[in-house]
Amino acid sequence: MMNISNPVVKEMVADYPLHLIDPMGIQDKDLEKFSSSLREVMGCIKYSNDKTKLAAFIHDNPRMNMEIEAARVIETITSVSIDNKEVDSMENVNMCKAIEDMIQDVVDEKKDDWLAEGRLQLLSTLIQSGDISLQKAAAIMNMTPDEFLEKSKTVS
């Protein structure tokens, strides 16, 4: 396989085939073939780009209470933060709790944006129905009428 001429290096380097796994290309049925926590690690890598699928994979998986080492791999790959309080006395982590905390963090971060968007939609509807003027709606949102119109175009 490798042609190494230096005998010192040759002694230290193992020359054996290396088999790689592409987590993104693994079929769902093939994930089931893994019997260790590598199944959960591979599944989390596979779905790391789709938060909905990742949450479903974790939520639907009864084996998401795993050893800390596997959880740290998942934490690094998916940006799911693992709090020390989620690690039990046996050094296992409940990943469902970690995901629930991540989802709650997103909700907390976005709540004000969602509320503002909802108010903007409601005020736009009231303007269209003639119940409120553009100037009054803009003032409620602390915007100029032009800012209100521009912002309302981005809200569906």
Q: What is the pLDDT of residues 53-63, one digit of tens each?
A: 877 887 777 77
| Burial of 142 per CB tally in 10 Å (0-12, 13-18, 19+) | exposed
In a domain, 26, yes or no: yes
Q: Is the dihedral of CA 20, 21, 25, 27 positive or negative?
A: positive
Considering the domain architecture, whether residues 19 and 91 belong to the same structural domain is answered as: yes
Considering the domain architecture, whether residues 24 and 62 belong to the same structural domain is answered as: yes
Considering the domain architecture, whether residues 97 and 115 belong to the same structural domain is answered as: no
Mean pLDDT of the chain: 83
**pTM of the shown model:** 0.51
Strands (E), 12-125: 65-67, 92-94
How many structural domains compose the chain? Answer: 2
3-state class of 150 per DSSP? helix
Q: Which domain holds residue 142?
A: 110-154
**DSSP single-letter state for residue 65:** E
In a domain, 83, yes or no: yes
